[in-house]
Amino acid sequence: MKRVKQLTDHVGTFVCKALLVVLPCIIVSACTTARVEDTRQQSTGILEGEGVVIMARSYHLGNETEMSFIDCIGSAISRGSSGLRVIPSAEFVDALFPWFEPRTAPSDTKALPDFIERPGVADMIAEKGVRYVIWLDGDTDRVAGGGSLSCAAGPGGGGCFGFAWWQNDSKYEAAVWDLTALESAGTISTDVSGTSFLPAVVIPIPLIARTKAKACRGLADQLKLFIVSEDA
Amino acid sequence: MAACFAAFSGCSSQVTVNDPTIPDPLIEKIPLSVAVRFPDQFDHYIYEDQLAGREKWTVDLGRSNELLFTKLFSSMFNELTVIEGGMDPKDMPIDAYIEPSIDAFEFSTPAQSQTEAFAVWIRYRIKIFDKNGDQFANWPISAYGKSQTTMMGGDDAMRRAAVLAMRDAAALIVMQLDKTTRISRLNRSKLSRAAVRSEPENPEPTMTEPVEEASKTAASEDAIDETG
């Protein structure tokens, strides 16, 4: 009984020591620098029944925004008590075919009056209740990295030794177009950078800086405020 | 070990596109009665490519191009007839007939482009003939689709890129077909009215005259390649 108690104490001490080492690392890994800025060009606001569509800028223009980021923004912007109604982009693009395809969608707000005058377009936008189109641009890049990590396995077991790190930079911009006023309401940009670490002593412990997830949360929160707020 | 090597060395991917599901376009129809003849390649188009040192890709477009153009042209024109077998378009009450075909199909994988996306290029050719069977326009178009790899894997991204390329072609055809080829000039009733108007001054053949004029215009645009 005493031996069991001693063993438990040893395990407890080991866990505490391990936590003392790992916790600061987790806190360090969580350190990301984030910046969110918005530029308002006109007053916004949204009525009941109105919604938004979240689109990626056309790949014909070289944009490489990840689908996962667009899904993340759509999900985050529709959540919560102040969540906005999000019309799925595929449904909107199909309903307006062929005028919102990557090749044909208006590339700036100057093209909106011509776009809205195409046969059936204004009626379809009204039917879908789309007030704002949010165009997303940007991506997440690995900007630096280093260290070395090697793993080996044999009949008696395996393990990894070493240390690796890398820095990710998530830069995104959301342009908000008002389809009622046919003007740009403004833009919101976010820039999140963070360094991830992967120390390994037998077992690798990944300490990941989730820059894309943080950029998504920051941008979605700001977009909600930007659209709901009626300030000019 | 040998089994693993054998399994990896024979790596190949096969992608099948059954139906590109083109939505109903928001357009005003061109007042023409048109027939379309699909080439044999539209029945079962298969493209294969063995990437150097990498896997082999097979993209099977099946009958998807036939479905695409049938849907597209039936939405664009007042009447559409699909010419089958030995039917002769000259015997049909039509204004024009169209022969679409595929000139080239290409793709790139993430390993080739050093990105996370699959891209597909399809070069179509649209030949338009008047009701007498004379070539009126010859329009090459380049369509492009791009899709990022997802959790579903490369096959799904390649399929989506191919469908996006076909949608891109459809969008381009809707926007540019009449502007580029002037196909609406082949309207028989318009041609008849033009013929009646010109009859007192020129009793010689008038039915084909506007077509010839239109042909000259279209011919000058034959080489236009609407790339993305």
Which chain B residues are closer than 8 Å to A64 by Cβ?
Answer: 115-117, 148
Residue B48's pLDDT band, with cuts at 50, 70 and 90, is confident
**pLDDT at res. B217:** 38
Cα radius of gyration rounded to whole Å, chain B: 21
pLDDT greater than 70 at residue B199: no
Which tokens go with A109?
């707000």
CA proximity to A184, closest of A88, A107, A102, A87: A107
A60 vs B: CB within 8 A: yes
CATH class of A32-228: alpha beta
Question: What mean pLDDT comes out for the span A101-109?
Answer: 91
Going from the C-alpha of A210 to that of each of A31, A176, B150, B211, the distances in angstroms are: 10, 25, 19, 64
Measured in angstroms, the CA of B61 and the nearest CA of chain A are apart by 21
Most confidently modeled range among A157-166, B16-25, B151-160? A157-166
A69 vs B: CB within 8 A: no
* Distance in angstroms (rounded) separating the CA atoms of residues A160 and A201: 6
Is B171's CB within 8 Å of A104's CB? yes
**pLDDT at res. A138:** 92
Residue A74, burial from CB neighbour count under 10 angstroms (0-12, 13-18, 19+): buried
Question: What mean pLDDT comes out for the span A6-34?
Answer: 56
Which among B26, B168, B175 has CB closest to A96? B26
Instruction: Measure the N-to-C terminal CA separation of chain B; round to a whole number of Å.
Output: 47
Cα radius of gyration rounded to whole Å, chain A: 24
Indicate the Cα dihedral angle B43, B126, A63, A134, nearest 10°.
Answer: -90
Backbone angles phi, psi at A180, to 5 degrees: -85, -45
Which tokens go with A81?
């008590």
Given a contact cutoff of 8 angstroms between Cβ atoms, the answer to whether A194 and A152 are in contact is no
Which tokens go with A210?
């989730």
Question: How distant is the alpha carbon of residue A124 from its chain centre?
Answer: 29
Write the single-letter amino acid at A71. D
Which tokens go with A35?
């910046």
* Distance in angstroms (rounded) separating the CA atoms of residues B69 and B128: 14
Is this complex scored with an ipTM above 0.95? no
* Distance in angstroms (rounded) separating the CA atoms of residues A62 and A68: 18
pLDDT greater than 60 at residue B8: no
Residue A14's pLDDT band, with cuts at 50, 70 and 90, is low
Is A98's CB within 8 Å of B24's CB? no
Cβ-Cβ pairs closer than 8 A, A with B, add up to: 50
Write the single-letter amino acid at A185. A
Measured in angstroms, the CA of A49 and the nearest CA of chain B are apart by 24
**Residue B115, number of CB atoms within 10 A of its CB:** 15
Which among B26, B115, B117 has CB closest to A121? B26
Measured in angstroms, the CA of B152 and the nearest CA of chain A are apart by 13
Question: What mean pLDDT comes out for the span A42-59?
Answer: 91
Instruction: Measure the N-to-C terminal CA separation of chain A; round to a whole number of Å.
Output: 73
A116 vs B: CB within 8 A: no
Question: How distant is the alpha carbon of residue A82 from its chain centre?
Answer: 19
Three-state DSSP class for residue A155? coil
Is B25's CB within 8 Å of A98's CB? yes
Give the number of C-alpha atoms closer than 13 A to the C-alpha of residue A176, restricted to the C-beta side: 30
* Distance in angstroms (rounded) separating the CA atoms of residues B78 and A173: 44
Supply the angle between the helices B64-76 and B154-181 in degrees, to the nearest 10.
40
Which chain B residues are closer than 8 Å to A96 by Cβ?
Answer: 26
Residue B19's pLDDT band, with cuts at 50, 70 and 90, is confident
Q: Tell me the domain boundaries of chain B.
A: 11-220
Query: Any idea which fold B11-220 has?
Result: Double Stranded RNA Binding Domain (3.30.160)
| Residue pLDDT, tens place only, A140-191 | 999 999 999 899 988 888 899 999 999 999 999 999 999 999 999 999 999 9
Is A60's CB within 8 Å of B228's CB? yes
Is A102's CB within 8 Å of B168's CB? yes
Residue B152's pLDDT band, with cuts at 50, 70 and 90, is low
Average pLDDT, chain A: 86
Which among A67, A102, A124 has CB closest to B26? A124
Residue-by-residue DSSP string for B89-156 = GGGS--SEEEEEEEEEEEEE-HHHHTSSEEEEEEEEEEEEEETTS-EEEEEEEEEEEEEE-BTTBHHH
Report the chain A residue with the minimal C-alpha distance to residue B28.
A119
Three-state DSSP class for residue A185? strand
Which among A59, A60, A118 has CB closest to B26? A118
Which chain B residues are closer than 8 Å to A100 by Cβ?
Answer: none
CA angle A224, A225, A230 (to 5 degrees): 115
Range of weakest confidence among A46-50, B27-31, B174-178, B198-202: B198-202
Is A124's CB within 8 Å of B168's CB? no
Is B115's CB within 8 Å of A98's CB? no
For chain B, give me the number of helices (H) and strands (E)? 6, 8
**Residue B114, number of CB atoms within 10 A of its CB:** 7
Which tokens go with B6?
């054998």
CA proximity to A183, closest of A22, A38, A41: A41
Is A66's CB within 8 Å of B171's CB? no
Residue B12's pLDDT band, with cuts at 50, 70 and 90, is confident
Range of weakest confidence among A57-66, A170-179, A184-193, B114-123: A57-66
pLDDT greater than 70 at residue A112: yes
Q: Give A178's strand partners.
A: A132, A183
